[in-house]
């Protein structure tokens, strides 16, 4: 620990030197050089009925954009990507390509090494963002005005699509910055150099989009008023609630939600000022748990342990992410559920876990055997939930829900006329790339509704 550490219990800032922190939070996967990109692009078979394209939620013509890289047409390559996915730059960095496009690559079966599609996508989109600040133009003004609630990938993809079609769009965002999970919820080493904000600024250069910050649905905005005041409404409000452990002591010092920990870390320029525990326990099995535990280690935690109630195959974090965490010194323990939080002097001192096993239905059931992990910081990553309170609509007219989230049809229309939704607030896969596709589909549906 450095001499400047500020200690509270065994949670302290300044555990690592500035040079160590800078290295730990640098770009985890640096970009390909121009030569490396051409060599990698030439590994592609350019399949006619490419399985990689079928595996991409936004339907990017992957063989097409890779062929253009191989022939030196970076502009054409980037436009091929961005026409399908306007967040192609961030998706190149954060998408779980190992279970999507790269997981379907035919090279994987032959060589156990797929074409590096994500890295190639980054090469093309980064080049275009640096060379052309306004590659897209707007159609003639339609005179229509659409409200978008939420400036995350779903909302901004919808706004961009509508703006290109000639509509005016006002985006209402509760937080101080746009970007949603790209800005607040992704590990800092995945989106470095303020990329999330640079990508949003580039996207907004199309024109016709205004963002109003500090405006939350249900607090500053009313859905009924939005329906009256705008020609259509798109909801990209994400998941506002965080599941609790349901144990006594969740308000103890040192116990916090992993999503808040990640958000604070991403918004702190000087990582040396962030307090981190010496022994950190993360409860959960998704990507949030992986990102929280890995970043805890990179902040200087001596121990970071993820505990999950079932086995590695049941974790929602991909095997690639699980391996990445363990490469970073994170220990993952399976088949255990939190049973009791232990306290000392008003702060968390450890967690007692109950060992579990899977029953015939695949549910985790307690065995009766317990063990304890000492901890001075506990991060809860047991899932986020949709909070329906802000979408009650016109009093008696409430949005229909599906599996606890907003119900939509194939065009992302909700049960209320003129209201659309997408991203994590609707049922489906919680991925940035899926949210972008929702926004893209909704923009097309709104355009058809308004102009036929």
Mind listing the pLDDT tens digit for each residue in 275-285?
Answer: 999 999 999 99
pLDDT of residue 395: 55
Q: Read off the pLDDT band of 9 (50, 70, 90).
A: low
- Helix-then-strand count for the chain, H and E: 16, 20
Phi, psi of 120 (to 5 degrees): -65, -40
Mind listing the pLDDT tens digit for each residue in 167-219?
Answer: 999 999 999 999 999 999 999 999 999 999 999 999 999 999 999 999 999 99
Smallest CA-to-CA distance from 247 within 355, 345, 333, 350 is with: 350
pLDDT of residue 150: 98
Residues in Cβ contact with 360 at an 8 Å cutoff, skipping those fewer than 6 apart: none
d(CA 296, CA 286): 16
d(CA 412, CA 422): 7
pLDDT of residue 429: 87
Tell me if 282 sits within 8 A of 254, measured CB to CB. no
Length of the chain: 452
pLDDT of residue 110: 87
Mind listing the pLDDT tens digit for each residue in 135-174?
Answer: 999 999 999 999 999 999 999 999 999 999 999 999 999 9
Phi, psi of 294 (to 5 degrees): -65, -40
Q: Read off the pLDDT band of 396 (50, 70, 90).
A: low
pLDDT of residue 250: 94
d(CA 306, CA 409): 37
Q: Which domains does the chain have, with CATH numbers?
A: 34-131 (1.10.1060.10), 145-240+386-451 (3.50.50.60), 242-383 (3.50.50.60)
Query: Is a pLDDT exceeding 60 seen at residue 41?
Result: yes
- Count the neighbouring beta carbons within 10 Å of the beta carbon of residue 358: 15
Question: Angle formed by the axes of helices 117-131 and 195-204, to 10°?
Answer: 60
The secondary structure element, H or E, covering residue 130 is helix 117-131
pLDDT of residue 8: 44
Rg (alpha carbons) of the chain, rounded to whole number:
23
Q: Read off the pLDDT band of 392 (50, 70, 90).
A: low
State the virtual CA torsion across 398, 442, 186, 63 in degrees, nearest 10.
150
Q: What is the mean pLDDT of the chain?
A: 94
Mind listing the pLDDT tens digit for each residue in 69-101?
Answer: 999 999 999 999 999 999 999 999 999 999 999
User: In terms of C-beta density within 10 A (0-12 exposed, 13-18 middle, 19 or more buried), how is residue 142 classed?
Assistant: middle
Share above pLDDT 90 across residues of the chain, in percent, rounded to a whole number: 93
Mean pLDDT (whole number) for 20-39? 97
Smallest CA-to-CA distance from 354 within 375, 370, 378 is with: 370
pLDDT of residue 393: 55
Query: Is a pLDDT exceeding 70 seen at residue 323?
Result: yes
Q: Which residue has the tokens 């970043």?
A: 295
H runs (alpha helix) in 268-348: 287-299, 319-327
Mean pLDDT (whole number) for 415-424? 97
pLDDT of residue 389: 81
pLDDT of residue 6: 37
pLDDT of residue 3: 35
The CA–CA distances, whole Å, from 219 to 156, 177, 249, 389 equal 21, 18, 29, 10
Residues in Cβ contact with 288 at an 8 Å cutoff, skipping those fewer than 6 apart: 185, 258, 259, 262, 381
d(CA 17, CA 5): 10
pLDDT of residue 2: 37
Q: Read off the pLDDT band of 105 (50, 70, 90).
A: very high
Mean pLDDT (whole number) for 7-14? 76
H runs (alpha helix) in 243-354: 258-267, 287-299, 319-327
Tell me if 173 sits within 8 A of 159, measured CB to CB. no
Mean pLDDT (whole number) for 415-429? 95
Mean pLDDT (whole number) for 375-379? 97
d(CA 328, CA 325): 5
Smallest CA-to-CA distance from 339 within 362, 303, 383, 371 is with: 371
Query: Is a pLDDT exceeding 80 seen at residue 34?
Result: yes
Tell me if 306 sits within 8 A of 290, measured CB to CB. yes
Tell me if 423 sits within 8 A of 408, measured CB to CB. no
Query: Is a pLDDT exceeding 90 seen at residue 452?
Result: no
């Amino acid at each position: 620990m450095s001499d400047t550490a500020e200690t509270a219990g065994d949670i302290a800032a300044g555990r690592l030197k500035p040079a160590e922190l800078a290295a730990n939070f640098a770009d985890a996967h640096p970009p390909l050089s121009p030569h490396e990109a051409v060599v990698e692009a030439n590994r592609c078979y350019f399949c006619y009925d490419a399985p990689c394209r079928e595996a991409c939620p936004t339907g990017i013509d992957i063989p097409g954009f890779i062929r253009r890289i191989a022939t030196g047409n970076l502009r054409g390559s980037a436009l091929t990507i961005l026409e399908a996915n306007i967040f192609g730059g961030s998706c190149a960095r954060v998408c779980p390509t190992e279970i999507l496009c790269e997981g379907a690559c035919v090279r994987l079966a032959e060589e156990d090494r797929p074409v590096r599609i994500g890295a190639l996508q980054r090469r093309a989109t980064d080049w275009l963002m640096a060379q052309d600040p306004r590659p897209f133009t707007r159609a003639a003004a339609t005179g229509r005005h659409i409200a978008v609630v939420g400036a995350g990938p779903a909302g901004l993809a919808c706004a961009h699509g509508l703006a290109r079609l000639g509509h005016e769009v006002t985006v209402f965002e509760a937080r101080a910055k746009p970007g949603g999970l790209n800005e607040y919820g992704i590990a800092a080493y995945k989106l470095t150099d303020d990329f999330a904000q640079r990508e949003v600024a580039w996207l907004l250069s199309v024109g016709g989009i205004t963002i109003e910050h500090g405006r939350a649905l249900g607090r500053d905005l009313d859905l009924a008023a939005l329906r009256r005041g705008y020609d259509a409404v798109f909801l990209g409000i994400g998941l506002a609630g965080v599941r609790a452990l349901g144990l006594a002591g969740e308000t103890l010092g040192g116990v916090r939600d992993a999503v808040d920990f990640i958000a604070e870390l991403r918004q702190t320029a000087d990582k040396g000022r962030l307090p981190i525990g010496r022994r950190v326990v993360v409860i959960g099995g998704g990507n949030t748990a992986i990102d929280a535990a890995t970043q805890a280690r990179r902040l200087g935690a001596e121990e970071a342990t993820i505990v999950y109630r079932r086995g590695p195959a049941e974790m929602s974090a991909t095997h690639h992410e699980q391996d990445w965490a363990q490469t970073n010194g994170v220990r993952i323990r399976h088949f255990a559920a939190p049973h009791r939080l232990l306290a000392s002097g008003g702060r968390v001192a450890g967690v007692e876990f109950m060992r579990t096993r899977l029953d015939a239905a695949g549910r985790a059931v307690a065995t009766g055997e317990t063990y304890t992990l000492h901890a001075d910081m506990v991060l809860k990553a047991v899932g986020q939930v949709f909070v329906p309170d802000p979408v009650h609509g016109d009093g008696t007219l409430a949005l229909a829900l599906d599996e606890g989230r907003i119900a939509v049809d194939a065009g992302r229309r909700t049960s209320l006329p003129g209201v659309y939704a997408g991203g994590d607030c609707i049922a489906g896969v919680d991925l940035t790339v899926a949210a972008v596709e929702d926004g893209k589909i909704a923009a097309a549906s709104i355009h058809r509704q308004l102009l036929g």
